[in-house]
Structure 1
Amino acid sequence: MDNSEKIGSLRWAFSPCPNDTFIFGALTQGLLPQTDGITPRLEDIDRLNALALQGDVDVVKVSAAMYPAVNDKYQVLPCGGAMGEGVGPLLVRREDNPRAVSADSVVAHPGKYTTAYALFRLFHPAVTQLRTFVFSAIENAVLRNDTTHGLLIHEGRFTYRQRHLFAEEDLGDRWRSDFSLPLPLGLILIKRTLPEEIKLAARDAISASLNYAWAHPAHVMPYVAAHAQEMAPDVQKSHIQLYVNQYSLTIGAQGERALQALWAAVARDGNPMPLTPFFRE
């Protein structure tokens, strides 16, 4: 079995969000030379984090803040992830709600292992009433007054105004102001126990898939559209332009510094700093 076949036999999992499907579209559809393609699981980010905690997949997209919890099982691949430059999860409330977030607020979030949750805990430690929702249900939770506020991720940041929500704070902007670094949002992890040549082949396949998508976007956008929560093409493109950037191709030294800063911030909440997190040749 060659490396292409071995890559195809791995258990892959990522989200249906446009940045992930854009990056992995060519690989999934078998558009890369000498690569048969992969058959991934597409799951909500909270479910992806759970899969990583269970060790049930070989290559998986996770929230950047949760990596210390799976450091013993996985390494961070240098490509395929998402970092924001002054943008991140949005804290929103109803337009007719004049009250800023406070100790008695009730906040909807997309999962306790998500970067959104970790950042909110970091910046608003006095708020203790936090409720988990599937990310796509958070806008409705706020609109129904089930919660006073919500943390929006993915496409929600492009559509909240249409639903009469008010953005109180961009946690990515707050992160940049406090740390002067890009905000790590999502990472691609690979099982530590896999052979080194398979890790290299997976890394190279992801990079090739992204470069193919940049060169031939018309070949992957139908795949993106088929899985996007928000079907408007302009929203999908805006999402990709914002979250698929140079850090998606290679994390680099600046990205690694940002990750170490995020993990150190999470460590204040009782999580250990990860050891040898990055896969290197």
Structure 2
Amino acid sequence: MNIAFSPCPNDTFVFHAWVHGLIPGAPELNVTYADIDVTNGWAAARTGPEVLKISYAALPWVLDDYALLPCGGALGRGCGPLVLTAGGTADPARLSGKRVAIPSDRSTAYLLFRLWTARHVPGGIGEIVVMPFHEIMPAVKAGTIDAGLVIHEARFTYPNFGLTMLADLGSWWETDTGLPIPLGAIIARRSLDVEAIAGWARASVEYGWTHPEVSRNYVMRYAQELDPKVAQAHIDLYVNDFTAKLGEDGYAAVESLLGRAAEEGLVPEFDLAKLR
């Protein structure tokens, strides 16, 4: 079976056991490691592997062909994207008419950013620049862009670049809705045995929790030179109870985010029933 997910520590931790043949009955995986903006595009074009890690924000474009797995993804609290600047006041209004870099225009981070700016940035943002997330903080530091929307381990490393957090969009979302933040989803083509795939993915998560030391070398091989402590903090934050089972709070979070985004015209209208 072909699968694509990011080289980030949470994804490699989640799928380590399955990739290495440690899940009884699970098919062998042929893995492609790709940034989520790439996998979002593959899913939308129906050209990617049978199983993919994509952003929850991309689901409205692909639900006719792909089913959302109730496990394996990234959803939680205290793990949302940040808006960073190179200094100055922590006033969101200063972003009015400015250039802001984002990691993807079909990401949960971007949807949260758009929903947040609609309430907090008079006149709106001037220009959105899409760039790989690992390039965003250096660009903010260099002054080639005015602010950056960052995800993943950037939550832990942005002080190393001398940057200032203007907003924690996860904190804003949780305060506004009381719900966790839907970030990355695992999807599988509807033509497959989705229930079986979900079972193998869940078993891989549980194996990782039971044997955390077994995946360490694999995780660090793809961790983009992260310090091991940062990689572990990344796993601890993004691999949680929602990773093993989305549950009612998880589904409510996805429905709230995508429902609001559809109302604002940020995603196409879609059948919410297809999320389950």
Residue in structure 2 matching 1:72, options 59, 64, 73: 64
| One-letter code aligned to 2:239 | V
Residues 273 and 86 of structure 1: is their aligned pair in 2 closer, same or farther, counting only changes over 3 Å?
farther
Equivalent residue pairs, number: 266
Change in Cα spacing, 1:67 to 1:128, as seen in structure 2 (3 Å) is farther
Take 2:190 and 2:25, find their aligned partners in 1: how far apart are those partners?
Answer: 25
Equivalent positions of 1:1-16 (< 5 A) are: 10-16=1-7
Cα drift, residue 229 of structure 1: 2.2
CA–CA distance in 2 between the matches of 1:77 and 1:128?
37
**SS of aligned partner of 1:248:** helix
SS in structure 2 of the partner of residue 78 of structure 1: coil
Q: Pairwise mapping of residues 256-271 of structure 1 onto structure 2 (< 5 A)? A: 256-270=251-265, 271=268
**Partners in 1 of 2:225 and 2:253 — Cα distance?**
29
Q: CA deviation at 1:275?
A: 4.1
One-letter amino acid of the structure 1 residue matched with residue 242 of structure 2: Y
Partner of 1:4: none
Instruction: Indicate whether 1:17 and 2:12 are aligned.
Output: no
AA aligned to 2:22 is: L
Root-mean-square deviation (CA, aligned residues, Å) is: 1.5
Structure 1 residue 250 corresponds to structure 2 residue 233: no
Q: Shift of residue 99 of structure 1? A: 6.5
Q: Do structure 1's residue 90 and structure 2's residue 82 form an aligned pair?
A: yes
Contact 2:220 2:226 in 1 (8 A): yes
Aligned partner (choices 163, 181, 206) of residue 211 of structure 1: 206
Give 3-state SS (helix, strand or coil) of 2:21's partner.
coil
Q: Aligned pair in 2 of structure 1 residues 201, 264: CA closer, same or farther (>3 Å)? A: same
Measure how far apart 1:252 and its partner are.
Answer: 0.5
Look up the match of 2:18: 27
* Counterpart check, 1:119 vs 2:112: yes
**What per-residue deviation string (whole Å, max 9, x for no partner) do you get for residues 14-70 of structure 1?**
111111110001111112234453121110111010011011221111111121111
Distance 1:86 1:249 in 2: 18
Unaligned runs of 5+ in 2: 119-123
2:51 corresponding residue in structure 1: 59
Amino acid at match of 2:37: D
C-alpha spacing 1:275/1:178, structure 2 compared with 1 (3 Å): closer
Q: Say whether the 8 Å CA contact 1:182–1:258 is kept in structure 2.
A: yes
SS of aligned partner of 2:273: coil
Match of 1:277 in 2: 274
Per mean C-alpha deviation after superposition, the further-off stretch among 264-273 and 233-242 is: 264-273
The Cα of 1:254 is off from its aligned counterpart by: 0.9
Q: Could you tell me which amino acid in structure 2 is paired with residue 59 of structure 1?
A: V
Q: 2:131 aligns with which of 108, 113, 133?
A: 133
How many angstroms does 1:274 deviate by? 3.1
Paired with 1:89 and 1:117, the residues of 2 have a C-alpha distance of 9
**Closer/same/farther in 2, CA of residues 164 and 54 from structure 1, 3 Å limit:** same
**Matches of 1:35 and 1:209, distance apart in 2:** 10
* Cα shift at 1:230: 4.3
Q: Deviations over 1:240-277 (max 9, x none)?
A: 11111000001001111111001111102322133432
Shift of the alpha carbon at 1:223? 0.7
Query: Percent identity over the alignment?
Result: 39
